[in-house]
């Protein structure tokens, strides 16, 4: 009994949508498109089983589900930390390289001031 009442309500809704679409076309307004219907659960299981076929296992680059997998947060944080450490190390080396005085200029400075 409950199923019958739902089907009547959906028939009425479909009829109202058709009437709205017709009046929108008469007035030159855009017609709303119906939402795509959901696939049956059995169809979804067939898609999953075909995705796990042996030929897909041989070529992981063609597997669309592998590109949709997210990288774990710990891996992202580890990569970010290593990148920051490398940046700090590089900047430290650069700073130390620029702060070392030229040995010839140091000797000329020492002999010019009379320090022995």
- For 49-88, give one letter per residue: b (16+ CB within 10 A) or e: eeeeeeeeeeeeeeeeeeeeeeeeeeeeeeeeeeeeeeee
Q: Please indicate, yes or no, whether the overall pTM of this predicted structure exceeds 0.85.
A: no
Q: Is the pLDDT of residue 101 over 90?
A: no
Chain segment 58-92, per-residue pLDDT in tens: 555 555 555 567 889 999 999 999 999 999 999 99
**CA 109/CA 83 separation, integer angstroms:** 41
Q: What percent of the chain has pLDDT over 70?
A: 56
Delimit the domains of the chain by residue range. Answer: 1-31, 82-116
Q: Is the pLDDT of residue 9 over 90?
A: no
Average pLDDT score over residue span 45-56: 55
Average pLDDT score over residue span 88-116: 78
pLDDT at residue 31, as a whole number: 81
């Amino acid at each position: 009994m409950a199923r019958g009442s739902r089907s009547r309500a959906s028939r009425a809704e479909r009829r109202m949508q058709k009437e709205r679409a017709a009046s929108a076309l008469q007035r030159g307004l855009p017609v709303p498109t119906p939402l795509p219907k959901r696939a049956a659960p059995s169809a979804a299981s067939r898609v999953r089983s075909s995705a796990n076929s042996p030929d897909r296992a041989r070529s992981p680059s063609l597997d669309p589900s592998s590109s949709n997998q997210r990288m774990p947060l710990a891996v992202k944080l580890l990569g970010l930390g290593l990148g920051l450490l490398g940046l700090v190390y590089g900047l430290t080396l650069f700073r130390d390289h620029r702060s070392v005085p030229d040995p010839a200029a140091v000797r000329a400075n020492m002999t010019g001031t009379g320090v022995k």
